[in-house]
Amino acid sequence: MTIFLLRRLGQSLVALFGVMTLVFFIQRLTGDPTYLLVPETATQADIEAMRHALGLDRALVVQYVDFLWDTLRFDFGKSFIQNVPVTTIIASRLPYTLQLAGGALLVAIAIGLPVGLLLALARKQRWTNILMGVVLAAQSMPTFWSGILMILLFGVGLGWLPPSGSGSFAHLIMPSIALGLLSMATYARITRSSVLDELSKDYIRSAKARGVKTGRLVTRHLLRNSAIPVISITALEISQLLAGAVIVETVFAWPGLGLLTVQSVVSRDFVVVQGVVLLGALVTIMMNFLADILYSFVDPRIRLDGVSG
């Protein structure tokens, strides 16, 4: 276990360093924010002065070393545009991202798991084809479209829910559904194939022969043994949901991290992009790590200091 933890920590640090280096250089290769920060009538001297004020006139290597040193000291810098510490900006957006990710995951799991199970158990019934079609449709609908339709129907037409924005539970419902439906389809399909896989195994057949009831068979044997792929997917989904859902956030004016990231990339607000990417990398690494640990609980055959790593 200790060896596993140490090795994982080492790998994580290397990954974080790689992500930071990449995001630092790629951003600087793609453009200079100075031009976006001065009015159209600025002279070349005004532009130079602004570049100096932002510290972008220093050698790239110097900027890079400063960036690494500041990050080590947990100083993530100030937004070029808002002139506010990037930690303040991210902290203001993070709760909204967590709410939306939680809501979407709930929708996805609450619908996706039972649907997947049903599709597998009743695979010989005709109607499962229709259900599978519905699942595929949910996955194929672009969210900018399903989002605006929901807004027009439930927000404008029926007036049941606020059309956009944040601040109450009612605000969270539509964006959670729009975002959750995408992941729901993934859950349904993974659960279905994973359960089907287990159903064909000998222990299920012998359990059936022993007369174990279907309910007990599903809850005690089938679900537990089909859980590994579902846990992997959940780790990935959480990382993705936390990185932000740009389109859903844009359509519903939801103030999450995805929208912030896109706006910051467009306006070349390097410092904010660096902060968000670093957070995203950290979350992904932690989620994968958690999933690894969970595997060994669900399936004792997986030992952390043995085969996995």
Partner 1 sequence: MTFSTFIKAAALATVVFLPANAALAKDDLVVNLVNEPATLDPHMQWNPDSYYVYRNIFDNLVTRDDAGEIVPQVAESWKQLSDTELELDIREGITFHDGEALTADDVVYSVKRITDPEFSSPQLGQFNSIIDAKKIDEDTVVLTTKSPYPALLAQLVKLSIVPEHVASELGKEGFNEAPVGSGPYKFAGWDRGVQVKLTRNDAYWGEQGAFKTVTFKSVPDASTRVANLRAGTADLVVSLDSDLAMQLEGSTEAQVLSAPTERVGFMGMNTLVAPLDDPEIRRAAAMAIDREGIVEGILRGGETVASQMATSAHFGFVDSAEPIPFDLEKAREIVAAKGDAAKVPMKFATSPVYDQRIVQAIQQMLNEAGFNVEISMTDMATYLKAAQNPDQMARPQLSFGRWSCACQDVDGVQYPLLHSSSNWSRVNDPELDALLETGRTTLDKEARLAAYAKVQKIVADNTYIMPLYQAAALYGASNGLEWQPTANESLFLNRMSWKD
| Residues contributing to the site for partner 1 (CB under 8 A) | 30-33, 35-44, 46-47, 49-50, 52-53, 78, 81-84, 88-89, 92-93, 96, 145, 148-149, 151-153, 155-159, 162-167, 250-253, 255, 259-260, 263, 266, 268
- Nearest distance in Å: CB 129, partner 1: 23
Report, in Å, the least distance between residue 193 CB and partner 1: 30
Q: Whole-number minimum distance, CB 247 to partner 1, in Å? A: 9
The span from the CA of 263 to the CA of 250, in Å, is 10
| Identity of the residue, 33 or 180, whose beta carbon is nearer to partner 1 in the bound complex | 33
CA distances to 23, 209, 229, 259 from 278, in Å: 9, 53, 27, 16
Task: Decide if 250 contacts 211 (C-beta within 8 A).
Answer: no
User: Considering beta carbons, is residue 146 or 226 the nearer one to partner 1?
Assistant: 146
Closer to partner 1 at the Cβ: 50 or 111? 50
Distance between CA atoms of 242 and 240, rounded to whole angstroms? 5
Q: How far is the CB of 262 from partner 1 (least distance, A)?
A: 9
CB count in 10 Å sphere of residue 64: 16
Closest by CA position to 166, among listed 85, 252, 227, 72: 252
Of the pair 157, 211, the CB lying nearest partner 1 is at: 157
Between 54 and 286, CB nearer to partner 1: 54
Distance CA 143, CA 177 (A): 10
Q: Is the CB of 1 or the CB of 253 nearer to partner 1?
A: 253
Q: What is the DSSP string of 47-100?
A: HHHHHHHHTTTS-HHHHHHHHHHHHHTT---B-TTT-SBHHHHHHHHHHHHHHH
Pick between residue 19 and residue 259 the one whose CB is nearest to partner 1.
259
- State in angstroms the smallest separation of the CB of 179 from partner 1: 15
Record the tokens describing residue 161, joined without a space: 């829910």
Minimum CB–partner distance for residue 91 and partner 1 (Å): 9
Question: Residue 160: how many CB atoms within 10 A of its CB?
Answer: 11
- Bridge partners (DSSP) listed for residue 78: 85
Token code pair at residue 118: 């049903």
CA 127, CA 125: separation in Å to the nearest integer? 6
| In the complex, least distance from residue 169 CB atom to partner 1, rounded to whole angstroms | 16
